[in-house]
Amino acid sequence: MKAPTRRALAKQQTRAKVLAAARRLFSEQGYEGATIRDIAAAAGMSTGAVFANFADKSDLFREIMMTDMVALAEAMREAASHGDDVDEAILRAFMAGYLFYQTQLPLARAAFSVGWSTQDGPALRGAAQARSLRDLIADQLTRATERGELGSDSQGALRADMLFDAYLSNYPQAIFESWTLDDLRARARDQIDILLAGVRRK
């Protein structure tokens, strides 16, 4: 492989600078509120230089989300591996997620706003990185069934989806009502308990 040229390195640095500025502005002003001009100014470069690296604002936002989701999936998977039973594994995965966004809730808020928009939502939610988050919950259920902790589950896919949705549904409380991690843990524990009730071994 060829060593990266100086030009390629410079380009990489520019991208990193733009992404850092964009992350900050999306957090401060939301997705709609942040403009490419603001982002360029915050990164100390021209709008032309931003557009040379990213097609548009949604491209920029998607890049930030994808990077985060890869890191998030890693953190959730790692956390789940320390759970003693399926409830605990899923709860730990959820908590790793809440912890991940605890210091960047405004960005999570922007992500929900974009995720629900009819324009950019489907691409964001349908991304492989987003699916891998759902898949890791499904994996926990499969393993629990293999261990004999849960009975065989004809509704496995739906149950995994609903668990993940329950995880997401608690973000508004964190974003708008300043719930603490302990509040979220208590709520998530009950939700998991309800959603697993139908498939537990008696």
Partner 1 sequence: MATPENLTRVDDATAGAAVAQFPAVAARPRVTRQTRKNETRNRVIKAARELFDTQGYQGTTIRDIARQAGVSVGSVFTTFASKGDVLSQVMQDRLDGLYAELDRVMPHLRGATLERLQTMFAIHFAFEVRHTRLFLAHIAAAYDWTLPSTAQPMGANPRLQAIIRDCLAKGVSEGDVEGSIEFQETIDLLMAAYAWVYRLAARDDADAPTMTEVMDRQIALIATGFKPRE
User: Which chain residues interact with partner 1 by CB under 8 A?
Assistant: 29-30, 32-33, 109-110, 112-113, 116-119, 121-122, 125-126, 155, 158-159, 162, 165-166, 168-169, 172, 175-176, 187, 190-191, 193-198
Q: How many residues does the chain have?
A: 202
CB of 112 to partner 1, least distance (A): 4
70/168 with CB nearer partner 1: 168
Query: Please, which residue, 78 or 190, has the CB nearer to partner 1?
Result: 190
* Burial class of 58 by CB neighbour count within 10 A (0 to 12, 13 to 18, 19+): middle
What is the nearest approach in angstroms of partner 1 to the Cβ of residue 164? 9
For 95, the enclosing helix (H) or strand (E) is helix 86-102
> Smallest distance from the beta carbon of 162 to partner 1, in angstroms?
6
Instruction: Note whether 140 and 90 are within 8 A (CB).
Output: yes
Nearer Cβ to partner 1, position 5 or 119?
A: 119
Cα(86)–Cα(83) distance, integer angstroms:
7
Tell me the closest approach of the beta carbon of residue 51 to partner 1, in angstroms. 21
Residue 80 Cα distances to 73, 76, 93, 200, angstroms: 10, 6, 5, 19
